[in-house]
Chains A and B, each alone.
Chain A
Amino acid sequence: AQKITQTQPGMFVQEKEAVTLDCTYDTSDQSYGLFWYKQPSSGEMIFLIYQGSYDEQNATEGRYSLNFQKARKSANLVISASQLGDSAMYFCAMREYGSSNTGKLIFGQGTTLQVKP
């Protein structure tokens, strides 16, 4: 069954330190994509980073990197040098590109990150 699991409801990190947000997924498709979104209190979903199932290297976007371990079905987000503006809800999401490809994103429950000054 298609599923995204985020086991950390809330996380704290000190400003300027790195933090890892966990995400595991379940799919029977060989072709899929994994996304991370940031949702501030305003509600808008902001795209952060993408990893395709056939990508051999971990994705990086500025201070964001995705630690992709295919065999473990995990796609953890690493934020380096945390900033106060990083305080938000973070969602891991998956899209399948096989026979069930409808463009649907499947989201996890989210992790609330608070950055302490």
Chain B
Amino acid sequence: DAGVTQSPTHLIKTRGQHVTLRCSPISGHKSVSWYQQVLGQGPQFIFQYYEKEERGRGNFPDRFSARQFPNYSSELNVNALLLGDSALYLCASSSAGTTYNEQFFGPGTRLTVL
């Protein structure tokens, strides 16, 4: 079975641009979470979606938005990019929303903002 997939693998943007990152969860998983990992730090929670509804939001500005589609894949959108948005963006999927369940992470999208 395929694991969590993310696209693109790498991305280079300039300040002020917009970016869309994509995530496909493991088949049968209905929950997707997004994390931002700045170099040298632990991942920071951005969003969680379950059954196409937002279930949690981290301390990120409104420039960050996300959505989940009927097939449970998800997009993370970031508007008006800043240099500080350069990071590894990780997507994780799990089979349930808010009960314990192991979160399986994808390989990440490495975003560089110039």
| 9 closest A-B pairs by CB | A102-B56, A107-B42, A45-B105, A104-B45, A103-B48, A43-B108, A101-B98, A44-B107, A107-B43
CB of B39, distance to nearest CB on chain A (Å)? 11
| Contacting pair A43 B94 (CB below 8 A) | no
Task: Please give me the residue from chain A that is nearest to B105 by CB atom.
Answer: A45
CB of A27, distance to nearest CB on chain B (Å)? 15
- Which residues of B sit under 8 angstroms from A105, Cβ to Cβ? 33, 35, 43, 45, 92, 103
Q: Mark B87-114, 1 if CB is under 8 A from A, else 0.
A: 0101010100111101111111010000
With contacts A45-B90, A47-B104 known, is A103 near B50, CB below 8 A?
Answer: yes
Which residues of A does B touch, CB under 8 Å? 4, 33, 37, 42-47, 50, 52, 91, 93, 95, 97, 101-110
CB of A103, distance to nearest CB on chain B (Å)? 4
- Which residues of B sit under 8 angstroms from A42, Cβ to Cβ? 107
Contacting residue for B33 out of A33, A52, A104, A107, CB 8 A: A104
Q: What class of interface size applies to chain B in its complex with A? A: 20 to 34
Q: Mark B40-68, 1 if CB is under 8 A from A, else 0.
A: 01111100101000011110000000000
**Interface hub of B42, B43, B103, B110 (most chain A Cβ within 10 A):** B42
> Within 8 Å of chain A (Cβ to Cβ): is B73?
no
- Which residues of B sit under 8 angstroms from A95, Cβ to Cβ? 100
| Contacting pair A103 B31 (CB below 8 A) | yes
A-B contact pairs, 27 of them (CB 8 A): A4-B42, A37-B105, A42-B107, A43-B88, A43-B107, A43-B108, A44-B105, A45-B90, A45-B105, A47-B102, A97-B99, A97-B100, A101-B98, A102-B48, A102-B98, A103-B31, A103-B33, A103-B50, A103-B103, A104-B48, A104-B56, A104-B58, A105-B35, A105-B92, A105-B103, A107-B43, A110-B41
A52 to B41, CA, bound (A): 25
- Which residues of A sit under 8 angstroms from B41, Cβ to Cβ? 109-110
